[in-house]
Structure 1
């Protein structure tokens, strides 16, 4: 699925986009599942273990901002990250041993889909080494109008920016005034539905509100090398090993000299990144009224 040149580009820039990894049949199945999930959100007016809701969500007009851990919600999402084309790419970028760290489905609905402020994933879940990345599966055609993910090349080899607020608690975003040059250099991850982006866990990224009349659903998987262990600990060793995508269980974490800031004290608003970032006094992207 990818060439050695693609691997070198990933190592240099911290991000690549692989065209149309998923076929039309799989995309059709995913859209049917999503439609059912969104319809089911009408039964709740509060965030749940499955749903993170947009402001303005009602039973009559369901608005879902995120499906949490979709690989646990429907088998199809688990099958995608374990499929041979995806594993082939991951092994070239991370090595033979792979573990799924987590998943989410960010749903940027037309005209109001919420932005995600500038951040590094590494700030949320630092590991013993940074052979960790996120896959962004484009479930809709994505261009500049419908809020693509923006990534700044080369930032995966730089510092870990401060993601804490004035109160000293984790805020899940970076003060945009401190990264003006990096924001100007950001590039959009765009492509046809079924394409996938792969961005390094330390790469700076964010995304604007969807101002178009088209949706922009982005299925995200976080994947780590199997010998990268989360510094916040492992609560359930059997569950941890159950997320292996390839390779055998590892009990000797690989330690590398990488910069780390722990997401502690924890954010005052717990939940999704949207909830955590909503407490910030300063933002970069425009939000829906």
Structure 2
């Protein structure tokens, strides 16, 4: 099965989003469609990130079917459905620097297909093999087309040491990879793509926004550093891209079945609330060492 997208598919005579309101240049939009991802440093400031981070301790202890742990049975690996539990993270999905951009890239109104926290604790965070997200959503949830986009907010500084996401630029143009019925990509196919396209690491300071679609090949290594790496992910799906099978209502944390187009918050300061002050990664590390 082969799915292919070009930048022209997101244009619609009946749907427009003010590009000025989302602060992207035409060059950035073209780069996204050509390379399959976009990295936007300083999309959120330290105060906004600290507001989100302040929610993590209580949220990660919440008893939810969407909460999974690492091999130590203590460190949280992934927490699915975070916007369904936290009003703050629900506000993030509707943020005026998030939602209008998602609508612009997909060319229509959107809803949240999935949200999650990806927590790679120092020394504990396990890796993710090479895959395309759409392979899971198409096979498991019955998502017809890859008219979907991931927005990932860095809640920690991410560098080459604490398990950044690896991406194969331009791999989204090759369609859905052969998988012999499995969602993970065959290593031989990954080798061919890397030989032709190269491999890049998505790094940046906390507050960076990483945007990529459902077909780009990506992975991440284990976190063998002592530094935590927390990411907040929102997956927007086009309202016309209705799921046809797969998960039921008992798994709503994995795939939202109720299609309700989102309306953007008008307040750009929605995340600027009192929160513990910003500390550098080394400061946080030293404090944890003393605890």
TM-score bracket relative to the smaller structure: 0.7 to 0.9
The alpha carbon displacement at 1:246 in A equals 4.3
Structure 2 residue 240 is matched with structure 1 residue 223: no
CA contact (8 A) 2:83 2:89 kept: yes
Q: Which runs of 5+ in 1 are unaligned?
A: 248-289
Query: Which position in structure 1 is the counterpart of 2:29?
Result: 7
Which of 64, 67, 74 pairs up with 2:86?
A: 74
Separation in 1, partners of 2:48, 2:76: 22
CA separation of 1:234/1:111 partners in 2, compared to 1, >3 Å: closer, same or farther?
closer
The alpha carbon displacement at 1:141 in A equals 0.7
Structure 2 residue 184 is matched with structure 1 residue 173: yes
- Write out aligned runs for 1:24-63 (5 A): 24-38=46-60, 40=61, 48-57=64-73, 62-63=74-75
Deviations 1:226-284 (A, max 9, x none): 21222426967x95223x2249xxxxxxxxxxxxxxxxxxxxxxxxxxxxxxxxxxxxx
Q: Which runs of 5+ in 2 are unaligned?
A: 1-22, 250-255, 265-291
CA contact (8 A) 1:107 1:215 kept: yes
Query: Which position in structure 2 is the counterpart of 1:129?
Result: 145
- Write out aligned runs for 1:11-22 (5 A): 11-22=33-44
- Write out aligned runs for 1:132-281 (5 A): 132-164=148-180, 170=182, 172-183=183-194, 185-232=198-245, 240-242=258-260, 244-246=261-263
Separation in 2, partners of 1:51, 1:233: 20
Query: Where do 4+ consecutive residues of structure 1 move more than 3 Å?
Result: 233-236
Separation in 2, partners of 1:65, 1:128: 28
Query: Which position in structure 1 is the counterpart of 2:131?
Result: 119
Instruction: Give the count of matched residue pairs.
Output: 230
Separation in 2, partners of 1:231, 1:134: 20
Let me know the Cα RMSD of the aligned residues: 2.3
| TM-score (norm: length of structure 1) | 0.73
Separation in 1, partners of 2:151, 2:257: 21
CA contact (8 A) 1:146 1:211 kept: yes
Structure 2 residue 83 is matched with structure 1 residue 65: no
